[in-house]
Structure 1
Amino acid sequence: MRDLVYPPVIAFARTSFKVLDLKLRLTGTENVPRTGGALIALNHISYVDFILGGYGALPSKRLVRFMAKEVLFRNRYSGPLMRGMHHIPVDRDAGAASYQKALEYLAAGEVVGVFPEATISRSFELKEFKSGTVRMAAEAGVPVIPMILWGTQRMFTKDHPRDFSRHRPISITVGEPITVTRDDDAAEATAQLRSTMAGMLDETVRSYPEQPAGAWWLPAAYGGSAPTPAEAERLDQEELARRASKRR
């Protein structure tokens, strides 16, 4: 697969990280295989997660093809970049095509990035996972690599203004590969993946260098003022209702 767009985008991102003086802390990046297909499963707390998630695979010299909302591919600015980096558009009303494209990428030895929660978590804790991640890994015969991002929500997330302040710490934690086979129960494998990533998230949050009580970007369970998972679910449903009303 020819990559004429991805390398300059990476160079621009690295320059931006230096300008912002991001305090990047990468742990476990050796778990991303240097060759062969693999599926990276990431938590979703920010609109910039795919940028930092891709950065977590660079020590292994891998380029991640993210499954992302189809609307990003139609945007006049992001569209050419998304297509040029060979990311995979996801149309929620016709998901079979994107699923098949991801399988083709994995069979070709590519690394595919997916967000099992499907949408950004307003609570910054893990939402329920869709089973497509483990089903895809089992069908393609590739490992699932769990990855946790933390600190990205402070830059750009739902319900809060963008804030690209300098010197911000960002944590990227990569877990050991998880093997899923066709004989495994998809629901059980999904629950296991979520449990593994929940443990990784807890460790990452607790080791994060800043823990200000009452911070909006800190989960309520850790002394922050972010919505609880139940409150976040209510906000999600209200957002969906508003979208449906606009479509009508």
Structure 2
Amino acid sequence: MAEFVYPPVVLAAKTLFRVMDYRIDVQGTEHIPATGGAVIACNHVSYLDFIFCGFGAQPAKRLVRFMAKEAIFRNAVAGPLMRGMHHISVDRSAGQASYQEALAKLKAGEVVGVFPEATISRSFTVKELKSGSARLAAEAGVPLIPMALWGTQRLWTKGRPRDMGQRHVPISILTGAPIEVPPDADLDAVTADLRVKMTALVDRLQKDYPDQEPGAWWLPAHLGGTAPTLEEAAELEARKPE
């Protein structure tokens, strides 16, 4: 398909990264196939994660088509860009159409990006995952690739004011080994395994992160930060759903 919008957007993002001097560390790109379909399943800590998840696939020269909530496509600015980059609109009240669109893209050799937590994790730990990414990989016959991001929450996350003016923020992107998902796989078991692998990737990024600030709001509670625990975050979500 013609790519009139995606390459200029990537160039603009890279220019912004240089201007802001984000210290971006990308590892594990060798796990992203150079050709053919694949599902990338990424943790979700920021409203900007799709940008950095897509950036993580750039060394493999792959353009990722993200499944994103339909409201973004209605935005006057973001909507035309999302459609121009051939991302996939997800209407949660009628999800089968978006699932079929994603499946068709995978079978056509595209890379589809999914945030299986469905919403941003306020605890900055990996929440329970939806099984859709495993189901897509099984039905399309493509690998399921775990990816983790860390640091993006410092720029813009749920429940915090946007702070895009920060410079020199370290942002870490780590891709793990593909998970092969046979057509008859137990999707619940695959999803549980995916969560374990995503958590291990996030733990590694947190351990190696160059900025260590005990008591920081953007650190999870188990690392000495003031972010809510997974249980406290679930209570917040119940009171103030996205």
Instruction: Give 1:30 shift.
Output: 1.2
SS of 1:12's equivalent in the other structure is helix
Look up the match of 1:142: 142
1:39 aligned counterpart, secondary structure: strand
Shift in Å, 1:182: 1.8
Does residue 103 (structure 1) correspond to residue 139 (structure 2)? The answer is no
Which deviations, in whole Å up to 9, do the C-alpha atoms of 1:14-61 show, x marking residues without a partner?
000000000001111111111000000000000000000000000000
- Deviation at 1:76? 0.7
Displacement of 1:183: 1.7
Task: Please give the secondary structure, in 2, of the residue aligned with 1:176.
Answer: coil
Confirm whether residue 217 of structure 1 aligns to residue 241 of structure 2.
Answer: no
Structure 2 unaligned segments of length 5 or more: list them. none
Instruction: Give 1:229-248 correspondences, 5 Å limit.
Output: 229-240=230-241
1:125 alignment partner AA:
T
Q: Any gaps of 5 or more consecutive residues in structure 1?
A: 244-248
SS in 2 for 1:133: helix
> Partners in 1 of 2:20 and 2:148 — Cα distance?
21
1:158-192 deviations in whole A, cap 9, x for unaligned?
Answer: 11111120011000000011101122111111000
Aligned residues: 241
The Cα of 1:12 is off from its aligned counterpart by 0.4
SS of structure 2 residue aligned to 1:149: strand
Write the distance in 2 (CA, Å) between the matches of 1:127 and 1:7: 32
Give the Cα–Cα distance (whole angstroms) in 2 for the partners of residues 211 and 234 of structure 1: 27
**Is 1:66 aligned to 2:72, yes or no?**
no
> Once the 2 structures are TM-superposed, how far is the Cα of residue 239 of structure 1 from its aligned partner?
1.0
Task: Measure, in 2, the Cα distance between the counterparts of 1:193 and 1:147.
Answer: 10
Q: CA–CA distance in 2 between the matches of 1:77 and 1:26?
A: 28
Tell me how far 1:232 sits from its aligned partner. Answer: 0.3
Paired residue for 1:129? 129
Residue of structure 1 in register with 2:169 after alignment: 168
CA RMSD of aligned residues (A): 0.7
Amino acid at match of 2:148: I
Q: How does 1:179-198 map to 2 (within 5 A)?
A: 179-198=180-199
How far off is 1:211 after superposition? 1.4
2:77 is matched with: 77
Instruction: Provide the rounded CA distance (Å) in 1 between the counterparts of 2:30 and 2:116.
Output: 22
1:246 is aligned to: none
CA distance in 2, matches of 1:14, 1:189: 34
1:33 maps onto 2:33 in alignment: yes
- The alignment status of 1:205 with 2:206, answered yes or no, reads yes
Q: Secondary structure at the match of 2:240?
A: helix
Return the alpha-carbon distance in structure 2 between the equivalents of residues 219 and 84 of structure 1: 36
Following the alignment from structure 2 to structure 1, what is the Cα–Cα distance between the partners of residues 80 and 5?
9
Partners of 1:211 and 1:236 lie apart in 2 by 27
- Aligned to 1:172, the other structure's residue is in SS state strand
Distance 1:83 1:234 in 2: 34
Shift of residue 229 of structure 1? 0.3
In the other structure, the counterpart of 1:24 is: 24
Q: Deviations over 1:137-166 (max 9, x none)?
A: 000000011100000000000111111200
TM-score of the pair, normalised by structure 2: 0.98
Amino acid at match of 1:19: V
- What is the percentage of aligned positions where both structures have the same residue? 61
The amino acid of 1:129's aligned partner reads L
Amino acid at match of 2:232: E
Distance in 2 (alpha carbons) for counterparts of 1:201 and 1:56: 15
